[in-house]
Amino acid sequence: MSRRPTPFDELARVLEQLGRELEARLEGLDWNTNERGGFGWGPDGRPGFSIAGDEPPLDLADDGDRFVVTLDVPGYEASTLSVRLLEDTLLVSGRRNRPPSNNRRRETFKRRVLLPERVDTETAQATLNNGVLSIILEKLEPSDRPTQIDVT
């Protein structure tokens, strides 16, 4: 007995075809060293968007009552780094000028991390030490009581 086709079967077929066409067009390009940035495959093998150059390696560790995020950012200064929290999303970016030979080139990166749990934005800390950016994010206590919303 054969299975009846569903709309999801057609969607899966179209996505497979799109993936094959995309791979064929991108074949031979090294997206990890793309100096202009753009869409491509990251160092972890997942698709992503890089503004320019390589994205710095990032680790997210769950220490029970807090998250510790570390990024390797050698050559960046604290004044050229930006760390922002937007609800459950951590946004980290940086900019530096570097002369590759005779030309000055600006390198930038942007990393966006979706945090697994909500964190306290008031106690967040970021420090830069020997080219390693460490971000400490204390977790919020889960609320057992629902929030009452008045209807007007």
62/129 same-domain check: yes
- State pLDDT tens for residues 14-59: 888 887 777 666 555 444 433 334 444 444 444 444 444 467 888 9
Q: Per-residue pLDDT tens for 18-28? A: 877 776 665 55
pTM attached to this predicted model:
0.58
Range of the structural domain that residue 38 is part of: 7-54
Give the pLDDT of residue 88: 83
User: What is the per-residue pLDDT for 35?
Assistant: 37
Asked whether residue 70 is domain-assigned, the answer is yes
Instruction: Assign 10 to helix, strand or coil.
Output: helix
Q: Are residues 67 and 40 in the same domain?
A: no
Residue 36 domain flag: yes
**Residue 149 belongs to some domain of the structure:** no
Same domain, 13 and 40: yes
Look at phi and psi of residue 130 and say left if phi exceeds 0, alpha if psi is from -120 to 50, else beta: left
CATH number of the domain where residue 127 is located: 2.60.40.790
> How many residues comprise the chain?
152
